Amino acid sequence: MLSMRAPQVAYKIYTKTGDKGVSSLYSGERRAKTDDIFNALGTSDELSSHIGVALEYCASPDLQELSNRLQKIQCILQEANSVIATPRRHEEGVDKKMEFSPNYTVNLENWIDEMENELPKLTSFILPSGGLASSHLHVCRTVCRRAERMIVHLSSKKECNSDVSIFFNRLSDFLFTAARFACFKSGKKEFIYKK
């Protein structure tokens, strides 16, 4: 039993129920682990894990607020996962907490604007670079975009709330800006594209 459900009682991590390549959605429905929903869930989980690594590189006092925001994003990803694991057509009978607030996206936009106010204007293409914190935030950005592609696919099949795909779209912009911010605050240099 991994991150999807908080344990209520003592439990074993290996229930063995997934050994045949099938697992449970939040709605209780069982599907093959190759299903698009598990691909999206696994990618969102991978993103949160990369954010965990990035956090280790963001330990300086100048990056404290960014760290707090990244931790909040890890919690929001848990909520997004619950929504992804509840395909829309199975929502009847599932409690209201499956809704995903568009305010999470508005918060990201405010955080992006705040960081951009402190950053030098972008005049060329930058390459993933700028120190460990920055480079790893670029890794987070690219994994986020992969998750977004999978969630957009679910939305196009009406299996996922579009507020979730919009959040992932904005999250990649946040992570791009956060990477530049971490580089700037760490006194590092971002490499720019040269022909």
Ligand X SMILES: Nc1ncnc2c1ncn2[C@@H]1O[C@H](COP(=O)(O)OP(=O)(O)OP(=O)(O)O)[C@@H](O)[C@H]1O
Mention every residue, 6+ apart, whose C-beta is less than 8 A from residue 172.
141, 144, 145, 148
Does 41 participate in binding ligand X (rule CB under 6 A)? yes
Q: Of the listed pieces 34-42, 72-80, 94-102, 164-172, which binds ligand X according to CB under 6 A?
A: 34-42
Q: Of the listed pieces 1-9, 96-104, 131-139, 155-163, which binds ligand X according to CB under 6 A?
A: 1-9
Tell me the closest approach of the beta carbon of residue 168 to ligand X, in angstroms. 16
Task: In whole angstroms, give the CA distance from residue 146 to residue 86.
Answer: 20
Mention every residue, 6+ apart, whose C-beta is less than 8 A from residue 181.
66, 115, 118, 119
Q: Which is nearer to ligand X, 91 or 173 (CB)?
A: 91
Is 174:70 a contact under the CB 8 Å cutoff?
no
Q: Which is nearer to ligand X, 1 or 122 (CB)?
A: 1
Give the residue, chosen from 8, 9, 10, 19, that forms a contact with ligand X under the rule CB under 6 A: 19
Give the residue, chosen from 6, 14, 120, 124, that forms a contact with ligand X under the rule CB under 6 A: 14
Q: Which is nearer to ligand X, 33 or 188 (CB)?
A: 33
Sign of CA dihedral 54, 135, 119, 103: negative
Angle of helix 162-185 versus helix 103-118 axis, rounded to 10: 20
Task: In whole angstroms, give the CA distance from residue 154 to residue 115.
Answer: 31
Does 143 participate in binding ligand X (rule CB under 6 A)? no
Tell me the closest approach of the beta carbon of residue 94 to ligand X, in angstroms. 14
Give the residue, chosen from 7, 34, 42, 82, that forms a contact with ligand X under the rule CB under 6 A: 42
Does 29 participate in binding ligand X (rule CB under 6 A)? no
Angle of helix 36-57 versus helix 132-156 axis, rounded to 10: 160
Amino acid at 128: P
Q: Identify any residues that bridge with 126 across adjacent strands, giving them in sequence order.
A: 192
**Site string (58-97) toward ligand X, x via CB under 6 A:** ---------------------------x------------
The DSSP symbol for 120 reads P
Does 4 participate in binding ligand X (rule CB under 6 A)? yes
Give the footprint of ligand X on this chain (CB under 6 A).
1-2, 4, 14-19, 23-24, 33, 38, 41-42, 85
